[in-house]
């Protein structure tokens, strides 16, 4: 097992090239199954969840080449509809294969998906939407079997703008007969990117960026070449690092157009931010001002940056309030931050944090992907050495958080227990 060792209290200076987006590339890899052919996907991050998805696609009969950040997927020999259980349990994204497998093979089997322990994370919205398209859902003890000859496009109303459910319906609708309209669709940038990919594949998706998406079903698609945008959550994580540690950093390869809401919150902490094209410069002197933020579906502040903002609030000058409105159990990292001296009270869906500086170094445990990254950020503002255990969570979504933070002068390294 490995852990991240952090020597705190050194301000940051330098440049980080932001990796490709995990939450954009995973649905794109699943959507590639709709087409019997080749997909060349660029700027793919070398993260555990991508390797896990590749294992699943290989088990389904696909082949691939993954060199550097370029992935070539060959889906011509897709022959199985059964998502392997071991990989399926490792991440939530396995559920996203239901739509494309239904579209291509008219049947799909997957175990109940795994992933971070941040809430119940049911898949009822996915299943009821697929059923509306004509799929037959057969829940079994150890998984779900979904069948349906060519699905029929129809109107689908999502009771909550679920990212995954929107993605599943988009992919199933792309191969259905007729037109599917999704009302109450999620508007996250990753949805917009998936729509762009589906259109490049030969589908016809309209309403991109709105909460009403229209998909005209097709029965043939084409080879595609596509570049994944930068990861806005990884970029937000490193903005949290400079807010907590101080200094001046430059992030490149960033989808600035998708980060306006994030940058508004960053600026309110007293961090000076300049953003243009695909570059962000952030300059932080002294401690952050208190954080007042509510997470919510895009374009509200991302739930995936909630834990990072806990770490920023931990060293802010005053009392902060952070409300989590997407997942019902996403404050677990708060307890780990208390081991570094953070004063935090959780009441219902709100964290009340009294900032102090510096924190004190200690041993903490990553409990989920973004929580682990947040603990690393907190270590930058702690006196002495901190150790963050459970790095495998962090490696699921961050290509190399130690490489990136070391590039701006942080004293961090990943070591074996």
CB of 250 closer than 8 Å to CB of 280: yes
Query: From CA 170, how far away is CA 123, in angstroms rounded?
Result: 16
| 93 CB neighbour count, 10 Å cutoff | 25
Q: Tell me the closest approach of the beta carbon of residue 150 to ligand EPZ, in angstroms.
A: 24
Q: What are the tokens at 122?
A: 């049911």
Q: Is 326 in the site for ligand EPZ (CB under 6 A)?
A: yes
Residues with Cβ within 8 Å of 67's Cβ and at least 6 positions away in sequence, in order, are none
Which CB atom, from 163 or from 201, has the smaller least distance to ligand EPZ? 163
Is 42:69 a contact under the CB 8 Å cutoff? yes
Contact present, 334 and 321 (Cβ < 8 Å):
no
CB of 380 to ligand EPZ, least distance (A): 20
For ligand EPZ, which residue of 271, 308, 369, 395 counts as binding (CB under 6 A)?
369
Per-residue x/- mask for ligand EPZ, residues 88 to 117, rule CB under 6 A?
A: ----xx----------------------x-
Between 159 and 345, name the residue whose CB sits nearer to ligand EPZ: 159
Q: Is 202 left (phi over 0), alpha (psi -120 to 50) or beta?
A: left
Q: In angstroms, what is the minimal distance from the CB of 306 to ligand EPZ?
A: 9
Residue 116: active-site member: yes
Cα separation, 121 vs 64, in Å, equals 30
> Minimum CB separation from ligand EPZ for residue 195, in Å?
14
Do residues 46 and 69 make contact, with C-beta atoms less than 8 angstroms apart?
yes
Contact between 327 and ligand EPZ by CB under 6 A: the answer reads: yes
Q: At what angle do helices 124-132 and 163-174 cross, to 10 degrees?
A: 20
Binding mask 158-197 for ligand EPZ (x = CB under 6 A): --x-xxxx--------------------x-x-x-------
Task: Name the residue whose CB lies closest to ligand EPZ.
Answer: 164
What residue ranges bind ligand EPZ (CB under 6 A)? 22-23, 26, 92-93, 116, 119-126, 160, 162-165, 186, 188, 190, 303-304, 326-327, 369-370, 397
Residues with catalytic roles: 116
């Amino acid at each position: 097992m490995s852990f991240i060792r952090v020597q705190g209290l050194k301000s940051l200076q330098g440049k980080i090239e932001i990796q490709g987006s995990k939450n954009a590339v995973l649905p794109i890899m699943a959507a590639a199954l709709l087409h019997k052919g080749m997909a060349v996907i660029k700027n793919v991050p070398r993260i555990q969840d991508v390797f896990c998805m590749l294992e699943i696609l290989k088990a389904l009969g696909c082949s691939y080449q993954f060199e550097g950040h370029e992935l070539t997927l060959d889906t011509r020999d897709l022959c199985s509809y059964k998502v392997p259980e071991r990989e399926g349990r490792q991440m939530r994204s396995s559920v996203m294969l239901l739509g494309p497998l239904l579209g291509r093979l008219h049947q799909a089997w997957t175990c109940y998906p795994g992933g971070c322990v941040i809430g119940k994370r049911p898949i009822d919205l996915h299943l009821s939407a697929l059923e509306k398209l004509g799929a037959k859902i057969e829940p079994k003890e150890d998984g779900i079997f979904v069948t349906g000859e060519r699905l029929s496009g129809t109107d689908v109303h999502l009771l909550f703008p679920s990212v995954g459910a929107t993605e599943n319906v988009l992919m199933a609708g792309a191969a259905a007969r007729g037109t599917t309209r999704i009302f109450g669709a999620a508007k996250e940038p990753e949805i917009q990117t998936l729509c762009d990919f589906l259109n490049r594949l030969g589908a016809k998706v309209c309403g991109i960026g709105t909460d009403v998406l229209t998909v005209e079903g097709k029965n043939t698609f084409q080879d595609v070449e596509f570049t994944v945008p930068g990861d806005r959550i990884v970029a937000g994580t490193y903005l949290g690092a400079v807010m907590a540690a101080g200094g001046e950093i430059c992030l490149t390869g960033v989808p600035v157009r998708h980060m306006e809401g994030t940058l508004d919150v960053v600026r309110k902490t007293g961090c000076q931010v300049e953003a243009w094209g695909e570059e962000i410069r952030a300059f932080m002197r002294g401690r952050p001002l208190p954080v007042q933020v509510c997470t919510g579906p895009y374009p509200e502040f991302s739930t995936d940056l909630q834990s990072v903002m806990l770490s920023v609030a931990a060293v802010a000058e005053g009392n902060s309030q952070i409300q989590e409105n997407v997942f019902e159990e996403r404050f677990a990292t708060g307890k780990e931050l208390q081991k570094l001296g953070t004063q935090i009270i959780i009441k219902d869906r709100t964290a009340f944090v009294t900032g102090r500086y510096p924190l004190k170094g200690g041993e903490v445990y990553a409990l989920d992907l973004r929580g682990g990254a947040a603990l690393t950020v907190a270590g930058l503002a702690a006196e002495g050495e901190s150790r963050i255990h459970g790095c495998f969570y962090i490696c699921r979504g961050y290509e190399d958080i130690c490489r990136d933070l070391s590039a701006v002068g942080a004293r961090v390294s990943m070591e074996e227990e």
